């Protein structure tokens, strides 16, 4: 488990945040963040007052990466790119998370390395990480300003024959009583635009491989836009399946077999394929994964229990 708890002895009276800065080489912000999260313990209780004077035995909970041997696809002195597998988190979402890409990132480049953009746990493909704080700030800014151009590949339900765009505003939902969709098309939402280009149709699977080019970066943008035009991404456990299947997935009660037939695939068939950007030089980096071949994860059209016609 990447989060560990270790004991230390503070020899002389000192303010908690100063102890962390001097003895553990943290920045002031890092020290205060550690304490705000309750990761300094005295007598087994979290101590969040960073200005409190401490002395004697304390415990610290911190992230200690455990690598599984994943090497970067590409690396420079400032950043790295990894091929993330579907089902792997980028960051641990709780201290009980056994493994995330942050384990590999910090195993290679230390505690100041970090992922610089979001990619859903269910999505596979390219993930960029900075090697140091200076690069992290600069690269995150490029993503926020949409200077870094991304492309994705997706296997979707049904036959798509022409290029098209979806220009529909998206809004995060706050009521999940009737639908488990996190995001919906809503006129009160934020402007969202995605361009889609069909690449290949598989008749046996009744599935189309398409390239996706998001011009904005909203949560679940590609998934919701494709669901909106009635070509949901196969294997999507939230969009394009029924309420019960979505709810069971979120509750961790949807079996692999049920997911396969109720969503149309054993995993979300969405892959981060390429990144084009300028950072001290021009870069165009593509995933080396053969996502076309990933169609082996798709459930046959005659086996799928729940399909778009029932949505």
Spatial distance between the Cα atoms of 239 and 224, rounded to a whole number of angstroms: 7
Q: Which of 78, 120, 204, 206 is catalytic?
A: 120
Q: What pLDDT is recorded for position 1?
A: 59
Spatial distance between the Cα atoms of 34 and 18, rounded to a whole number of angstroms: 12
Structural domain containing residue 192: 149-310
Spatial distance between the Cα atoms of 249 and 238, rounded to a whole number of angstroms: 8
- Report whether 79 contacts 117 (CB < 8 A): no
The Cβ-side half-sphere exposure at 17, using a 13 Å CA radius, reads: 15
DSSP states along 222-291:
HHHHHHHTT-PBTT-SSSSS-HHHHHHHHTT---HHHHHHHHSBSS--EEEEEEEEESSSEEEEE--S-G
Based on the fold, state whether residues 23 and 138 are members of the same structural domain. Answer: no
pTM equals 0.89
Report the candidate in 123, 30, 112 with the shortest Cα–Cα distance to residue 78. Answer: 112
Model confidence pLDDT, tens digit, residues 103-160: 999 999 999 999 999 999 999 999 999 999 999 999 999 999 999 999 999 999 999 9
Based on the fold, state whether residues 55 and 172 are members of the same structural domain. Answer: no
Model confidence pLDDT, tens digit, residues 202-249: 999 999 999 999 999 999 999 999 999 999 999 999 997 889 999 999
Task: State how many domains the chain has.
Answer: 3
CATH assignment of the domain containing 38: 3.10.290.10
Verify whether residue 120 is a known catalytic residue: yes
CATH assignment of the domain containing 93: 3.30.70.580
| Structural element, H or E, at residue 167 | strand 164-167
Based on the fold, state whether residues 184 and 283 are members of the same structural domain. Answer: yes
Model confidence pLDDT, tens digit, residues 175-212: 888 888 999 999 999 999 999 999 999 999 999 999 99
């Amino acid at each position: 488990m990447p989060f560990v708890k270790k004991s230390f002895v503070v020899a002389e009276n000192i303010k908690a945040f100063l102890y962390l800065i001097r003895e553990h080489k943290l920045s002031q912000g890092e020290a205060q963040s550690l304490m705000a999260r309750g990761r300094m313990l005295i007598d087994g209780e979290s101590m969040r007052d960073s200005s409190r004077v401490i002395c004697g035995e304390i415990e610290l909970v911190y992230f200690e990466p455990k690598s599984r041997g994943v090497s970067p696809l590409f690396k420079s002195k400032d950043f790295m790119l990894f091929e993330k597998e579907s089902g792997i988190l980028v960051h641990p979402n709780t201290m009980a998370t056994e493994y995330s890409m942050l384990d590999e990132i910090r195993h290679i480049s230390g505690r100041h390395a970090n992922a610089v953009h979001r990619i859903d746990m269910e999505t596979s493909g390219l993930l960029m990480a900075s090697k140091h704080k200076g690069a992290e700030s600069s690269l995150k800014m490029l993503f926020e300003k949409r200077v870094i151009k991304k492309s994705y590949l997706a296997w979707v339900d049904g036959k798509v024959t022409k290029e098209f765009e979806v220009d529909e505003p998206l809004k995060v939902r706050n009521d999940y009583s009737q639908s488990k969709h996190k995001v919906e098309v809503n006129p009160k939402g934020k402007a969202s635009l995605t361009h889609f280009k069909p690449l290949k149709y598989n008749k046996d699977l009744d599935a189309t491989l398409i390239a996706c080019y998001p011009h904005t970066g909203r949560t679940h943008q590609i998934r919701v836009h494709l669901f909106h035009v009635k070509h949901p991404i196969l294997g999507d456990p939230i969009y394009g399946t029924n309420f019960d299947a979505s709810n069971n997935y979120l509750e961790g009660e949807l079996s692999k077999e049920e997911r396969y037939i109720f969503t149309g695939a054993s995993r979300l068939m969405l892959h981060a394929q390429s990144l084009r950007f300028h950072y001290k030089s021009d870069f165009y980096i593509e995933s080396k994964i053969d996502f076309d071949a990933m169609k082996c994860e798709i459930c046959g059209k005659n086996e799928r229990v729940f399909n778009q016609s029932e949505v």
